[in-house]
């Protein structure tokens, strides 16, 4: 083991200096991930077991230098494989990303413009200059941005620079949803009924929708990632959907063309990973279950799918390969299907790039998809046959976002990560991220913090490891969606595999409210919170009684503490007695024993409650007795007072809640797109009065009641923060 640590340290040093890794080391650490976690002035080397173990042939020459035309976690992901293959890397970045992790990981870095994506990561002229000046022989586009832009691929080809992806014909054919659907039909791939042309305007959209029959899906022809997609159930929603989808499509892809097709209610979203080379070979690398979504964007993915049988899997895989071969596809790509309850499947779209959720496929197949993309781009044939592709174990991925899950299952949050620790100490855990303590989550880019992946011998083990990983994930400074992710993976319907794309709205029809504590869990939580309170009191007493204290204070020995604990709207009487490090706690008549190290400075605290192990996070602890504790993924606020303090607190006045029925505040940070009202206008309840764009998604804000507009506090183009006042009604 000592030799492994020495080798890993040498490997990391070589990678940090931009040197080519020694070949013996490259072989010996093929199963290990080396990661730098900058922390103030020190560097901590974290070496952890990787979840995919694709080997690398050092005699197989590919490229000397690759430019990564992306940012964040996917740029870091590509750089890791390049380092494994001995390839130097060039990062591009906007001015606000100058200190980002992907910039620090790369051997070289080039600024390509200011923060807005159109002026930096979508700025082809600046990126082409970076390619020329760096001498990069190839470009990996990651996903999003220019990854499916045929013009970018053409410009690279004109400069004799390799685009690490399919050729422009495949990008054109599969990137256009209209053309791809026609090609799929020709390749005998099952397709969804719909209109196979471009929708000209809202009136035509309504006419087509009526012909197809409601509900319909309106979506961007050139898009992906859930952007530019709307479901319409009637004519009015079709008109609104046409407007918003075309605006989002223009903003995200520079192409506002839309198409309409039949919306299949309650389907599963299952996709097939394909891999092709330039020699006519193509494979399908099993499926990924991606049905847990909100606003057409995936939240939890897994491989394989619990729903598919081997016959359906093979049929989907063969159709996916048939489509790939129909366009001479040569790279990693994904064919997405909608699957109904009878296992009928319909082609949705093909993404001609690396998918966000590719790690779960890597886990169950052992392939490094980035490495395969680089090999194929260089012209090497695939190393595997279809019979060689295994399903080995089970993998689950949770997309950890800077979002408030209590608002529409996740509206974006911004801020600076004041504290950040990934749960890499746990077995079977992989984290793909591009951030560090101090990183900013801004309004300019996708709010993803990381992709958290767990692997197990079966689904039960993978899910249990995910539960533990989410409990041990420390994220401070931004609102995040850990609570929602944890609730999904422990939900009985999810565990049984009873899921579809409407899972979240079906399970939480009134919106996500966090974990609902059972009586046993509530008592455990109250016992833990009370023990934390007493432990902090004992620590304070220890400091006060120290022999060097300037003011000697002698505290009487307290046998027990009688406390009043407020949780939600309930007040509970709790009695705590200490036999350090165990507290005996009586909660509403139930007796529990709580044991821990009680290290109050640690962001994580492992607590044993009568044999049940829990990992909690104490987010805040105030002198007035208020505490915020993350327990079972959800943050609970409690107020703990001694019996005397509780009696006196009855005389304190409560702050009156703000009446929000006459005002509209921004639910998220973003940019105001439109304000269709002015002072003096009469508006009806539910009428649109403001449109805000956040992370390339447009959100319609409506009036909470009928009334007259008193004042408007913003204008189109303004940047607003969460909670900013937008419109007031009389």
Find the helix or strand (DSSP H, E) in which 115 lies: none
Q: Are 636 and 627 in contact (CB under 8 A)?
A: no
Assigned token pair, 81: 């494989």
Three-class secondary structure of residue 310 per DSSP: helix
Q: Are 359 and 369 in contact (CB under 8 A)?
A: no
Residues 6+ apart with CB under 8 A from 325: 187, 276, 280, 282
- How far apart CA 199 and CA 202 sit, in angstroms, is 8
DSSP character at residue 21? P
- How far apart CA 418 and CA 430 sit, in angstroms, is 22
Q: Is 237 an annotated catalytic residue?
A: no
Give how far the C-alpha of residue 619 lies from the chain's centroid of Cα atoms, to the nearest Å: 22
DSSP assignment string, 626-691: EEEEEETTEEEEEEEEEHHHHHHHTTSPPPPPP--TTEEE-SSSEEEEE----TT-EE-TT-EEEE
What residues form DSSP beta bridges with 293?
Answer: 298
φ/ψ (deg, to 5) at 168: -65, -30
Torsion sign, CA atoms 387, 389, 390, 394? negative
- How far apart CA 589 and CA 522 sit, in angstroms, is 13
Q: Are 525 and 567 in contact (CB under 8 A)?
A: yes
Q: Three-state SS across 200-227?
A: CCHHHHHHHHHHHCCCEEEEECCCCCCC
Identify the active-site residue in 301, 349, 372, 422: 349
Of 206, 213, 197, 207, nearest in space to 257 by CA: 197
Torsion sign, CA atoms 33, 39, 43, 44? negative
Assigned token pair, 521: 């869990």
| Catalytic positions, written as ranges | 349
């Amino acid at each position: 083991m000592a030799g492994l640590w020495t080798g890993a340290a040498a490997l990391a040093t070589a990678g940090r200096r931009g040197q080519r890794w020694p070949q013996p080391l490259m072989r010996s650490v093929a199963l290990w991930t080396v990661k730098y976690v900058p922390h103030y002035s020190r560097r901590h080397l974290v070496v952890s077991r990787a979840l995919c173990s694709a080997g690398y042939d050092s005699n197989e020459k590919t490229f000397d230098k690759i430019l990564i035309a992306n940012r964040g976690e996917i740029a870091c992901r590509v750089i890791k494989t390049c380092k494994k293959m001995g390839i130097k890397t060039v990062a591009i970045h906007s001015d606000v990303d100058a200190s980002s992790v992907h910039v620090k990981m790369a051997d070289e870095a080039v600024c390509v413009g200011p923060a807005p994506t159109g002026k930096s990561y979508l700025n082809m002229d600046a990126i082409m200059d970076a390619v020329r000046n760096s001498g990069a022989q190839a470009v990996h586009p990651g996903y999003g941005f220019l990854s499916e832009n045929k013009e970018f691929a053409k410009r690279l080809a004109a400069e004799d620079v390799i685009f690490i992806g399919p050729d422009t014909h495949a990008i054109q054919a599969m990137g256009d949803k209209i053309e791809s659907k026609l090609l799929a039909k020709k390749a005998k791939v099952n397709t969804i009924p719909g209109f196979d042309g471009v929708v000209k305007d809202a009136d035509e959209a309504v006419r087509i929708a009526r012909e197809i029959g409601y509900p319909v899906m309106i979506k961007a022809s050139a898009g992906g990632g859930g952007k530019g997609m709307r479901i319409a159930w009637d004519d009015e929603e079709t008109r609104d959907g046409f407007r918003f989808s075309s605006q989002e499509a223009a903003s995200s892809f520079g192409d506002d063309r839309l198409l309409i097709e039949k919306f299949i209610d309650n389907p599963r979203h299952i996709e097939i990973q394909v891999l092709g080379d330039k020699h006519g070979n193509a494979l399908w690398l099993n499926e990924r279950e991606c049905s847990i979504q909100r606003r057409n964007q995936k939240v939890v993915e897994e491989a394989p799918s619990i729903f598919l049988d081997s016959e359906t899997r093979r049929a989907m895989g063969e159709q996916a390969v048939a489509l790939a071969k129909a366009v001479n596809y040569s790279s990693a790509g994904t064919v997405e299907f909608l699957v109904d309850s009878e296992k009928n499947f319909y082609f949705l779209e093909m993404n001609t790039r690396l998918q966000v959720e590719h790690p779960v496929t890597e886990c169950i197949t052992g392939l490094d998809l980035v490495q395969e993309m680089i090999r194929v781009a260089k012209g090497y044939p695939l190393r595997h046959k279809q019979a060689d592709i295994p399903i080995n174990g089970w993998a689950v991925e949770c997309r950890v976002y800077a979002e408030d899950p209590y608002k529409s299952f996740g509206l974006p949050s911004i801020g600076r990560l004041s504290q950040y620790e990934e749960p890499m100490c746990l077995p079977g855990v992989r984290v793909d991220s591009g951030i560090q303590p101090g990183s900013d989550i801004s309004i300019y880019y996708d709010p993803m913090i990381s992709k958290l992946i767990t692997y197990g011998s079966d689904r039960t083990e993978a899910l249990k490891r995910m539960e533990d990983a989410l409990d041990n994930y420390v994220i401070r400074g931004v609102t995040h969606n850990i609570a929602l992710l944890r609730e999904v993976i422990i939900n009985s319907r999810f565990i049984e595999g009873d899921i579809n794309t409407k899972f979240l709205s079906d399970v939480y029809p009134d919106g996500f409210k966090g974990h609902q504590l059972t009586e046993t869990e509530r008592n455990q939580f109250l016992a833990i919170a009370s023990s934390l309170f007493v432990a902090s009191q004992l620590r304070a007493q220890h400091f006060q009684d120290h022999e060097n204290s300037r003011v000697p204070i002698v505290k009487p020995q307290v046998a027990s503490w009688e406390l009043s604990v407020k949780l939600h709207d309930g007040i509970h009487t709790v009695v705590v007695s200490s036999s350090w490090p165990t507290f005996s706690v009586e909660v509403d008549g139930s007796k529990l024993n709580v044991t821990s190290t009680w290290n109050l400075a640690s962001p994580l605290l492992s607590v044993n409650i009568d044999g049940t192990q829990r990992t909690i996070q104490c987010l805040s602890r105030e002198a007035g007795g208020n505490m915020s504790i993350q327990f079972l993924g959800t943050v609970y606020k409690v107020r703990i007072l001694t019996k005397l303090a509780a009696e006196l607190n009855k005389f304190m006045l409560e702050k009156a809640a703000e009446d929000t029925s006459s005002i509209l505040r921004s639910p998220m940070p973003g940019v105001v797109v439109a304000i269709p009202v002015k002072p003096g206008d009469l508006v009806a309840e539910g009428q649109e009065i403001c449109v805000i764009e956040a992370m390339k998604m447009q959100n319609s804000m409506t009036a909470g009641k009928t009334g007259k507009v008193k004042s408007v506090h913003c204008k189109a183009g303004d940047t607003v923060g969460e909670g900013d006042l937008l419109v007031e009604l009389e």
